[in-house]
Structure 1
């Protein structure tokens, strides 16, 4: 048996086209104290907990490192062997290139792939590898998504980098996946009759099921004839569903959120997006509560690069429970970096018919902003932005213009403690504006607070806001975040207003 020759043929066989970059999970606090400045830190900590290594993943990395250090080709000891091949019984026919390996077969690739089975057959000339019974696949290659899969009837051609696996169950990134059949290609993975979820329970609280799921690494996921399940019941279905994956992919909550506030009563929120064509989508942001009934809004939005434009209609609520209705309103926004620098700029315009505070008005709002990329140093992060805006109203022929500025500093002390402090100024406020929506009744304010993680499932936080114009505290809010195995409960108490807010939502993804 020529072990080195057999080892060489397996080098490419263990390479899997990558699921690379699953949709990122993000949490955003409901806040009017600026505590959402800690969202980025909390999302990082969530990602770190999701990406903690299992024992077999740690072993794979250690074995790959030891292999790189110790295993050498006999012909040229200076060259590191790319693959190690082990089995209780190994046979190889040099005449036709066929081979058979039996008994706890373990194939280790130096870039941190592992391929295991009780019997492996293949052919060096046709470049095929087959595992007719159960197989186990691990992928821990740096820069690529982590994959742990169990399946049957594995076939892979390491020349074309194509293959298949049947009756598959496992995990890709932080997503649990099951599929009747997987097909591997150099640029994508196709799953037939598959499901996926971020809920790790044996019977997930929620999951998506589709006739066909296609993963394009670091690009998007495409599903055909997809159904959204909660507790085993179909919530709704769609013929086609797409979502971006990888860093920076914008994600809305696929599943609804429910909660209770003193102002709204019990409520349900659900953000839905329906792609119409490339860069164009119709969005419905459903909001229903027991006090005001239907308070939803809708938009038709076109996106390309840093530009976003469209038209929107419906009800909108700010963090101070102020409402506005747009009947409708057109908007345009553009954000980008100044070439070759860390400076950013933004332009925006909105014009439409607004209703609020008992009046209708043709509302026009135009602004320009200048900012700088987050400045990081010694676990501190500094955010800076300034801008100038103009607002016009037909109802009273008013015009409000002036500067605004924001400076926020966050500190990630360790895995448990984080804090923030910020100064904000905006010439525009409720005193000089027709509508209260998205305005304070003062121009200068300080915000600050901290959060403390008790354990992996419980976190406490305090957020405050101080009115510098009138020298008084406006908000001192207390938060409790509790993670269930597949969902979250967020409790907020606004002490200055004596109001409670409780929210329940599925784990963000």
Structure 2
């Protein structure tokens, strides 16, 4: 099923799952999606981990009181230090050799020799220089750790350049033949960028020119995406959000590689382009060795609580059931009911569905009501209830069907490493009484249960179960997961015991 949930809290995770399940009762067969927030919290912590060098730099500067301005309303002074230093108070010229340090605010450049001017703010470093800046993101200043040569920089105008650079800007690892500094942006020429900090990155993007607006967006010209030394994608002009504006779908290297015994090797790439403030066009590119191309193309209008999508393409649910929509129109509306713990959702879809056996003009309407988390004696044990109703019409057999469903999920944070869940689902609609199997199970009453346990900082296991509650709690699915951090990528290994199938996924964008 073409959906991904990347959230940072259990509350928003459940809200997203329940909203996705308005038309059909089940979000996933074993409800493993309910645990997605655990991995997202780990990714968030890694991406926002403070750089040790910058932390020490900030502490060092705070301890050197003379570096800070005596009058906070005035700019911080430029401090020049070195074993051999000369200063002309008349002209402002400065020359320094040996263990040279140039410090301004929370930024420092170290080198062997330099020349500059304390009045104009100019500095020139012909040999190797190391730059470290503990930036203030609120003021648009990035965190920078960079090595380069032939550096010039003006501390008053914020203009400068550096050649043969290699280092990091916030969470991005960069390199290039030349880098230019401006007050609000940086430009890298003949460079590369990645979130893989290895000496030889497994994946990266190269470009003739990369324009970076820290914590906002990036533009790359003649961009090439590389994995293991092979170019997998090219684009003349690539634009993506970075920093606080970024999401899982517009990360620097927006490529996912998966393999499972049902679909074979799967390469996924998502790209969208804003046409204006409310409308965007997008493509969800999917190549499968067992199915060839199965893309989704779409156009979306979104305005707060409401959105409309026009989509055309292939979709797969958690039971490996495929369907093609050619095309479909989907309207969603979700809102919190004021002064209550309730949220209301409405969704309607109209489009042509095809499963290679039959085609039908599918029309559905659904409403849902969900309750805010209910603490069961402790905030660590929470109940998430949800109820809904849908009406479906199919032109293929002129059938009308109604579906009443409800869900109740209990989540328990047993310890910082152990999280468990159990859920009960009821749905009138199943594969037995619906025209299409897509999105449904074979039975109406379902119980899921599972747990996640963190073995190490890099390893986590999950066991998830699905039971037919109407058939003596018969085990329908039992899945085993192993999540491992390979430094530059995440691996998710899944074994489906009842289906005897293997699935492996590599996520290249988390770092």
Q: Deviations over 1:99-127 (max 9, x none)?
A: 223321224455x4332222333224333
Q: How far apart, in 2, do the equivalents of 1:250 and 1:74 lie?
A: 38
Q: Name the structure 2 match of 1:273.
A: 271
For the 8 Å contact 1:315–1:326, the answer to whether it is kept is yes
Residue in 1 aligned with 2:287? 287
Q: Is the 8 A contact 2:300 2:310 kept in 1?
A: no
Establish whether residue 57 from structure 1 lines up as the match of residue 54 from structure 2. Answer: yes
1:418 aligns with 2:413: no
- Cα–Cα, structure 1 residues 499 and 80, in superposed 2: closer, same or farther, change >3 Å? same
What residue in structure 2 maps to residue 244 of structure 1?
A: 241
Equivalent residues of 1:151, 1:166 under 8 A apart: yes
Deviation, structure 1 residue 217: 3.0
Corresponding residue number in structure 1 for 2:449: 448
Partner of 1:182 in structure 2? 179
Residue of structure 1 equivalent to 2:217: 220
Contact 1:128 1:158 in 2 (8 A): yes
Q: Which runs of 5+ in 1 are unaligned?
A: 1-23
- CA 1:87/1:259 → structure 2, altered by over 3 Å: closer, same or farther? same
* Alignment of 1:146 onto 2:143: yes
- Check whether the contact 2:84–2:98 (CA below 8 A) recurs between aligned residues: yes
Q: Distance in 2 between matches of 1:378 and 1:139?
A: 40
Does 2:121 match 1:127?
yes
2-side partners of 1:440 and 1:161: how far apart? 61
Q: How does 1:328-347 map to 2 (within 5 A)?
A: 328-335=327-334, 345-347=344-346
Quote how far apart the aligned CAs of 1:131 are: 2.6
Match for residue 3 of structure 1?
none
CA contact (8 A) 2:391 2:400 kept: no
TM-score, reference length from structure 2: 0.80
Q: How does 1:18-57 map to 2 (within 5 A)?
A: 32-53=29-50, 55-57=52-54
Pairwise CA RMSD of aligned residues?
Answer: 3.7
Flag the 1:100–1:371 CA change in 2: closer, same or farther, 3 A.
farther
Give, in angstroms, the shift of residue 453 of structure 1: 2.9
Determine the structure 1 residue equivalent to 2:24.
Answer: none
**Aligned residue number for residue 392 of structure 1:** 393
Change (3 A) 1:260 1:75: closer
For 1:423 and 1:135, the matched residues in 2 are separated by: 61
Q: After superposition, give the CA deviation of every residue in 1:184-235 in whole Å (9 maximum; x if it has no partner).
A: 2233222221101122232222211011212223332221110111222222
3-state SS of paired residue (2:45): helix
Q: Is contact 1:288-1:294 (8 Å) kept? A: yes
CA distance in 1, matches of 2:505, 2:481: 11
* Paired residue secondary structure (2:42): helix
Greater Cα shift, 173-182 or 295-304: 295-304
Q: Secondary structure at the match of 2:128?
A: strand
* CA deviation after TM superposition for structure 1 residue 76, in Å: 8.3
Q: Contact (CA 8 Å) 1:72, 1:80: kept in 2 or not?
A: no
Residues 339/31 of structure 1: CA separation in 2 closer, same or farther (3 Å cut):
closer
The alignment covers a number of residue pairs equal to 476
CA contact (8 A) 1:357 1:436 kept: no
Paired residue for 2:90, among 95, 98, 103?
95
Change (3 A) 1:72 1:191: closer
In structure 2, list runs of 5 or more residues that go unmatched.
1-5, 14-26
1:170 Cα deviation from its structure 2 partner:
0.4
CA distance in 1, matches of 2:122, 2:386: 57
Residue 171 of structure 1: how far off its partner (Å): 1.4
Q: 8 Å contact 1:97–1:125 — kept in the other structure?
A: yes
Task: Decide whether the 8 Å contact of 1:299 with 1:310 is kept in 2.
Answer: no
Aligned residue for 2:248, secondary structure, equals coil
User: 1:465·1:474 contact (CA, 8 Å) conserved in 2?
Assistant: yes
Question: Do the aligned partners of 1:35 and 1:420 also contact (CA within 8 Å) in 2?
Answer: no
